[in-house]
Amino acid sequence: MPFLELTLRCRESEQSRYENALDDVGALAVTMLDADADTPNEHAILEPGVGETPLWDTLLLSALFADDADPLLLLAALEAFDPGLDWSRAGFRKVEDQDWERAWMDQYAPLRFGRRTWIVPWNHALPAEADQPHAAVVRLDPGLAFGSGTHPTTSLCLQWLDALSESGQLQDKTLLDFGCGSGILALAALKLGAARAVGVDNDPQALTATGDNAERNGVAERIDVFLPEDEPAATYPIVVANILASALDALAETLASRVAPGGRIALSGILKGQEDELLPRYGAWFSSLSVAQEGDWVRIDGLRKHV
């Protein structure tokens, strides 16, 4: 069965308003792509930070409607729902039916981080190198909402976890994944030898996604998830926070209090240059702070002081 597809470009700040309007008038599906990327998965949406939902600056929204929907009537309904938005930029076309989610996911391939860590979509067979006893494999369907390892911020954290595992510092430890999103970092830690993981996120959908992914990866009994206000007071030997620099700055004292003396932290979601303010901020609690860079993004990691 064919569909009527509506597409338009919008600013990140307007995304939720456009999506609400499209849902209200009966869109069967709404997807978001980076309007400036050469390929659909070139720039993945960041895993949502605590208190924020980071998106690209400019989005390409695509909405599917029933084939018999009238474009003019849809535009009139959208204008009535939110007259403050510019619906004149919308374009329409007829598209043939297909498995949209699967077609989109088929663009993703297995990814390796460090020596042992693999993120493999469910629709892909395990690569020969990942089909080995030493490999730490997380099966994860790519998702626009919560990230799938393709973004440098997540990649930097996965590489850090892999290195911790190689040095034996992750084995049998409990990890806090603050701003867990899809749960990708917590799941990778568990596959790499951590005993338990705790995921914290402000979005209930992220907690659901983390729980579902943990169940599918066979580690559900080793992970707990909480909203920030429900997180039990505790300290952890390993903490990772892949959120945004502004949130890392605002939450510095909170995150520092979660790391046990001598424990390790990794902070990501930081654009190159933003580390200049965060390094002295976290230097109050952490020593041996170092910076790793991938593309335009950096990761800060360090060791919790004993005093």
Helix, strand, coil percentages (3-state) for the chain, rounded to 5, are: 30, 30, 40
Q: Strand locations in 18-89, DSSP E?
A: 29-34, 58-66
CA–CA separation, 90 and 155 (whole Å): 35
CA distances from 236 to 14, 88, 297 (A): 38, 52, 26
Inter-axis angle of helices 15-24 and 71-81, nearest 10: 120
> Would the CA dihedral through 289, 269, 117, 231 be positive or negative?
positive
The response to whether 242 counts as a known ligand-binding position is: yes
Question: What is the CA angle 283-286-290, rounded to 5?
Answer: 80
CB distance 153 to 46 below 8 Å: yes
The response to whether 179 counts as a known ligand-binding position is: yes
Binding-site positions for S-adenosyl-L-methionine: 154, 179, 201, 242
Binding-site positions: 154, 179, 201, 242
